[in-house]
Amino acid sequence: MSGNGAWLRLVLTILATWRVTHLLALEDGPWDIIARVRMRLGDSFFGRLLDCFYCLSLWVSALIVGLIWLWRPLAEWPLWWLACSGGACLLERLGPQPDRFELPDRLDQEDTHARGGSDGMLRTASGERSDSGDQDQQSAAGPS
């Protein structure tokens, strides 16, 4: 096969690996079939495998590369397998990342409390209403 044909086959294999992995790990599928399968698998080995795009891409690429690149010498197969999984992972990172809820850093809260700041209560010890720790710190420091 010509050099251009090999590159095209590699690109198509990477795209197929990304598409199947994305479907299995992050989509509900038609009529929620994939979501139902994931729920039934629960916390089993296969259920946890479907939770991780990067882990799942190794298995999906092994299957796809095994089928498509079967005619290649066996010594090259691991390179194609890892290249397709890696390419799928890179494609996944190019897309928008899901929003993540971040909890406030506990050290900052403890540090604020140690300096006499807000302890999360609506009223301070003097009975004044406290809307933020910054106001309490300003009042504790005295007039400017």
pLDDT tens, residue by residue, 68-126 = 877 777 788 888 899 999 999 999 999 887 665 565 565 555 555 555 555 555 555 56
Tell me, yes or no, whether 81 and 20 share the same domain: yes
Q: Is residue 130 part of a domain?
A: yes
By residue range, what is the domain housing residue 67?
3-94
Does position 140 have pLDDT exceeding 90, yes or no?
Answer: no
pLDDT of residue 98: 65
Q: What is the pTM of this model?
A: 0.62
More confident site: 107 or 4: 4
In Å, what is the CA distance from 77 to each residue of 5, 63, 65, 71, 83? 17, 11, 8, 10, 10
- Residue 132 covered by a domain: yes
Overall domain count for the chain: 2
